[in-house]
Structure 1
């Protein structure tokens, strides 16, 4: 009887597998019938909706205009809550907000984690998680970033640890993201699928693989902070130098479209889902206005650098479209052009750079170490980013937003009261006294971003007046990361050969997290295969004629 039961159970399992495979094959066949066999996602970081409207209206982006002419342009697309690169990209590829995906910034804090060198997880908890250019091995012991691929491996000093049962395990970026990604969902549910992505940090964007660690077949390892051997500077010094870095990504896409890997050195399938990030526009926007950076007025009239960056990006888009056409893939590819984030302020008259008054106020009020001993760069050894950083210190992340993880969470009410007593733009004020500024904490923060008691979510979020950057930098006049209007209102154009009534605008408010379920629906997969979509009820973008999108 036991043997019979085992055979019966085995037949049931085989039947389930057969049904799943049949369903996946049927989904692939429906996708092909619709004409969509590939999805290309492109992030022109910094691209505002107003940039799209201006360049199309002024005939300065003919390739983007080509897509808009027979596709759908979303004029009211916004990021879900925060606009740093990590939560911005997570929205696009998980379908979730920071509350669900768990990504607030590429440099953040988690109270549950242990220091990288605490191999037994026996010390204090609370670690400044840094998944940026220092995640590659070139940065070990503060080393120079001399290789485009970040040194070819993870920097062990940048990888925190967590207790998992009786074990103390490393937490790589793919372990850190809390939900799966479109790459994982496609890989696991569409037989024969292949995935690829290229981004600005060689190792920090490992989280795109999702919790399985295997979602992206070809994750190009390119590090924008690396030193270009021809100039001995990194690719961020001027927007024209950033073009050289972005050209690596253009070539990666062309290689992949041609049936090669991102390096062009081996044969691979054309990716089912693939894409890349471009930094040129973001660098031009940040450049100081007096040098031609940013915008000239509140109407998004571009300065010379932004104008040049838009021209470059559209030319790059044209090269990618040409490659698709050359390989007879254009009509079978759904193309999404958008951005992880915008940039603020575009109206230079609103710019305020009083220095990091928020962090200073928190330090002097004893909510963080008054000597600045917090964060991974404050190490016991004195070597930059060597994994011996001070633990259990709290952290604050500022750009044009303030994310605050208090040293002592019981001080939250007192800290909020201190912040509210210092809202003005006069020292020691935090410049959050306008009608569009706010301080989030308590139940309102929990509802939007999750419970700080779980360790990941900031205790307090400060959104200062639009135009405020918590810096005194003389090299940048714009930043991103928060929820200011210019941060969060983005360009979004979607095209595929079967768009009904193409060439129209959708003016209803949408969120960039709706891109992720749209990718799955285009490939005729259930959007709820994405955990964040199921949890947050994220809808497919309207107006594309995809099944169940209306």
Structure 2
């Protein structure tokens, strides 16, 4: 698909060329899809009618290099041989799934897109129960598995589609032009998405996506609420009725969940909707998220999860997960070829985030020492009455949450929203006085650790006074996870090297740079403007691209 005006101009030029060449290349010009080699770069882009974006969460660059070198991911290797491998791709500062995916589809970091974590905080919002916006503000925004109606009143997540509707207890309110208005996830995103831009600028465009939370990922629709025509409603935290267990319990069970996404993509390639029930156009841009690798990486090393050494040698579970995702990729590409779409579809394989630490010897799990330190010094409620746990009933996320409590989000990073922003300097001093890994320290005493606040934080992530950005961000030493959990040895969310350095392989039909390896430092935010450039749209149509000056990936960073 192409923008209407550009397509008309190109159509006239093509007709003239066909006549001049007396039909020699008429088949190429007419089909424009499955023939032709040695085209210049502009014609490479002109051959792209569809873009498929795949996120294998947890996929490090080192995983890509190792599996291609060992021939354990033959399908990814074939894609790399036909495309470009970016060996120095990174997330834009934070690596939770929300900012990780927002980078790929908005072209922006949390500073412009406004997404820091799926569970975060916003000082300007009113509680879900405050439908008149007359009470205090400051809400712990929870857009995860509980965003579906199954999560209402703390209910069991028994449906794959999350119950088929939003949970009203998860939807906060905001005053918009004086009107108290619900804030659904798509309202929460601050900038538009590639889905919205393509639907608005490509004649007959259709869009589709599948992700891990059925309703929390509504934000992919963008502020219009209508960016994704076919948003597959799949909830990974739901209970599999066949086993009465969660899809997340083992990586092999997660494969079953990810297979739903493979089947959705195959249906879409076949000219159907994600359920396979309706005949529709093949999407102009579509894709899916896969969780199997991430689950295998998090599993404890003692149980066969994670990696065996600092060289990213995969343990049994990770090796099995890489074999699975490669097979999934092979099935998808095979279907594109069977439907004669491979030579008109650009394919981008990357990840929202990596996982840390891959070197098990660096793992530190002292518990959530950061939150304990904040509580002990009365910067947050000493009894834990803040965030998700701060409810009148004592039940998690049941609609009785307290307002204005502040919040702290920890995994292998610490995001701190203080209940009293005037205490920032005091909190930073307390944190710096307790940097060691000894109690009550926060284990941020190494050269790769840092504490962001004030202008330094505002320049990078936005001004906290506007309500959305954390007051303080703590990046602990690589390998530190603020947990005492015995069920996982790796996490993500922060900016440790293993979180941020991702695999990125891009195939473009008939590209003259097939098999290229690019070692320039790039950000995953550059994927979104590249998608638009491939479809002959201006990258600046994305608000985040215009705000942050995001450039397309190097091979595509020039005008027609």
TM-score, normalised with respect to structure 1: 0.94
1:246 aligns with 2:229: no
1:22 aligns with 2:33: no
Q: State the secondary structure of the residue aligned to 2:506.
A: strand
Give the match for residue 148 of structure 2: 136
Aligned equivalents of 2:387 and 2:175: distance in 1? 21
Aligned equivalents of 1:168 and 1:424: distance in 2? 46
Aligned equivalents of 1:454 and 1:357: distance in 2? 28
Aligned equivalents of 1:223 and 1:482: distance in 2? 24
Please point out which of 432, 453, 456 is paired with 2:444.
432
Where do residues 519-530 of structure 1 align in structure 2 (5 Å cutoff)?
519-530=531-542
Aligned equivalents of 2:305 and 2:327: distance in 1? 20
Please point out which of 496, 521, 528 is paired with 1:484.
496
1:24–1:190: 8 Å Cα contact kept in structure 2?
no
1:31–1:524: 8 Å Cα contact kept in structure 2?
no
Give the match for residue 548 of structure 1: 559
The ranges of structure 1 where at least 4 consecutive aligned residues each deviate by more than 2 angstroms after the TM superposition are 20-34, 381-384, 546-549
1:33/1:89 Cα in 2 relative to 1: closer, same or farther (>3 Å)?
closer
Q: State the secondary structure of the residue aligned to 1:157.
A: helix
Q: State the secondary structure of the residue aligned to 1:404.
A: strand
Please point out which of 437, 444, 469 is paired with 1:457.
469
Q: State the secondary structure of the residue aligned to 1:22.
A: helix
Give the match for residue 16 of structure 1: none
Give the match for residue 226 of structure 1: 238
Aligned equivalents of 1:31 and 1:192: distance in 2? 21
Residue 378 of structure 1, CA deviation:
2.1
1:65 aligns with 2:81: no
Give the match for residue 153 of structure 1: 165
**Higher alpha-carbon deviation: 299-308 or 371-380:** 371-380
Residue 384 of structure 1, CA deviation:
2.6
2:44–2:509: 8 Å Cα contact kept in structure 1?
no
Residue 232 of structure 1, CA deviation:
0.7
1:74/1:27 Cα in 2 relative to 1: closer, same or farther (>3 Å)?
farther
Aligned equivalents of 2:7 and 2:375: distance in 1? 55
Residue 34 of structure 1, CA deviation:
2.2
Aligned equivalents of 1:266 and 1:354: distance in 2? 52
Residue 24 of structure 1, CA deviation:
6.7
Give the match for residue 399 of structure 1: 411
Q: State the secondary structure of the residue aligned to 1:208.
A: helix
2:61–2:502: 8 Å Cα contact kept in structure 1?
yes
Residue 23 of structure 1, CA deviation:
4.4
Where do residues 80-229 of structure 1 align in structure 2 (5 Å cutoff)?
80-229=92-241
2:86–2:503: 8 Å Cα contact kept in structure 1?
yes
Q: State the secondary structure of the residue aligned to 1:56.
A: helix
Q: State the secondary structure of the residue aligned to 1:492.
A: strand
Give the match for residue 363 of structure 1: 375
Give the match for residue 472 of structure 1: 484
Residue 385 of structure 1, CA deviation:
1.1
Q: State the secondary structure of the residue aligned to 1:349.
A: helix
Aligned equivalents of 1:378 and 1:403: distance in 2? 18
Residue 380 of structure 1, CA deviation:
1.3
Please point out which of 266, 272, 297 is paired with 2:278.
266
1:530/1:165 Cα in 2 relative to 1: closer, same or farther (>3 Å)?
same
Residue 258 of structure 1, CA deviation:
0.2
RMSD between aligned residues: 1.4
Give the match for residue 532 of structure 1: 544
1:370/1:97 Cα in 2 relative to 1: closer, same or farther (>3 Å)?
same
Q: State the secondary structure of the residue aligned to 2:387.
A: coil
TM-score, normalised with respect to structure 2: 0.93
Q: State the secondary structure of the residue aligned to 2:77.
A: helix
Give the match for residue 300 of structure 2: 288
1:27–1:525: 8 Å Cα contact kept in structure 2?
no
Superimposed CA distance per residue, residues 442-494 of structure 1 (whole angstroms, 9 cap, x where no aligned partner): 00000000000000000000000000000000000000000000000000000
Give the match for residue 502 of structure 1: 514
2:45–2:536: 8 Å Cα contact kept in structure 1?
no
Aligned equivalents of 1:346 and 1:277: distance in 2? 21
Aligned equivalents of 2:522 and 2:355: distance in 1? 19
Aligned equivalents of 1:226 and 1:387: distance in 2? 20
1:278 aligns with 2:290: yes
Please point out which of 335, 352, 371 is paired with 2:347.
335
Q: State the secondary structure of the residue aligned to 2:320.
A: helix
Q: State the secondary structure of the residue aligned to 2:555.
A: coil
Give the match for residue 298 of structure 1: 310
